[in-house]
Every structure is written in structure tokens, then in C-alpha cells.
Amino acid sequence: MMNAIVDKSEYDKIKRVNEFINRRILWGDDQSIWGQVDFWATPMDTLGKGAGDCEDFVIIKYYTLISLRIQIPKLRLVYVEAKNANVITGGNQAHMVLAYYASPDAEPMIMDNLITEIRPVSRRPDLVPLFSFNSEGVFLGTQVKAGFAENARLSKWQDLIKRAKAEGF
């Protein structure tokens, strides 16, 4: 898949990567897959199991797009509250999606394992962004200039970066 799209436009890359991963990775919770309450899988972990939860989908998409030469500042892992998404209570559910910014002031396009169609954030009223992050830092919401901070606060993210680096990412 990567070889087939390496020379495509950035939008074509995000579309194909999003579709490819959403169709080939099965959703499962961390307890079922890893025997842990909250485990952030590297791309190789997720590929090895063929399954993951929302952040695992986001992480494998993030690293795949970086491997396809999408610049890190254009990508953000976004921790959101998904409105009415809890299948048991009907309430809000913690969720993670990947945002792509074509330019610094562009409206982010959202890649999600629940909805394969990539939509601008304005067409995702079901998501309330809480904070976003990438390899360069942590941000409030999805805004480019809002509340930049060191990403050292996300210990699971820091641990994942180290493990992914050991795998060659």
C-alpha cells in the first residue's frame, strides 16, 4: 500500500492510509488484546495482533503517514470526548482521532476508526477536542497556537515513542 501511494498527494495519502488501516485492523479493547486496562501499542504491536483500540488506530496511522513524508506539524493525535458514544450508558466516551492540517491555519481533517470518511472537524459535531499532541508537543484542543506545552506530560506517549524508535520508526 505504501509503495503504491508514495508519490500521491498528501490528501490521497491520508485517505488511503485511513481506509487501509480501518479495514485491516479489528477494534478491540486493551484488556482483551493486551490483558491491560490501558496500553498504547506501537505500529508493529498493532500489526502483529491485527487489532487495537482507538489510540492504536491513531498511532499506526500517524507513523505510517510520517513514513510517507507527511510533516509532523501537519499531524495531531487528538484526545476527544465523543458525544453519546457510550453504548452502555448513552453518555459521552473518551476517544482518540488523528487530525491532518494541510496548512497551519487550515481546518483539521479528522481520521477516525469509527467513521472511515475523512471529514473536516466542523462536520464532526459529535467530537469535543480536549487536547492534541504529536512528537513535537501538546496543544489545547486542536488549535495550532493554543497552549503549546512539553509533551513530557504524556508518559504513555513518551514510552510509545521510545518503543517505536526501537522498532525503526
Average pLDDT over residues 28-56: 95
Confidence at residue 148, expressed as pLDDT on a 0 to 100 scale = 47
- Which DSSP state fits 14? H
- CATH number of the domain encompassing residue 74: 3.10.620.30
Average pLDDT over residues 67-80: 96
| Per-residue confidence band for 2, with pLDDT thresholds at 50, 70 and 90 | confident
User: Per the structure, how many domains does the chain have?
Assistant: 1
The runs of H, that is alpha helices, within the chain are 2-5, 10-24, 30-34, 43-49, 54-67, 155-166
> In terms of pLDDT, which residue wins out, 57 or 115?
57
Mapped onto helix, strand or coil, the DSSP state of residue 161 is: helix
Count how many Cα atoms sit within 13 Å of the Cα of residue 19 in the half-sphere of its side chain.
11
The pTM of the full predicted model, rounded to 2 decimals, is: 0.88
Structural domain of 149: 2-166
pLDDT tens digit sequence for 79-131 = 999 887 665 566 788 899 999 999 999 999 999 999 989 999 999 999 999 89
Average pLDDT score, the chain: 89
How many whole angstroms separate alpha carbon 150 and alpha carbon 136? 8
> In terms of pLDDT, which residue wins out, 71 or 89?
71
Average pLDDT over residues 125-151: 73
Confidence at residue 108, expressed as pLDDT on a 0 to 100 scale = 96
Confidence at residue 153, expressed as pLDDT on a 0 to 100 scale = 54
Whether residue 37 is predicted with pLDDT greater than 80 in this model: the reply is yes
> In terms of pLDDT, which residue wins out, 146 or 121?
121
Confidence at residue 90, expressed as pLDDT on a 0 to 100 scale = 66
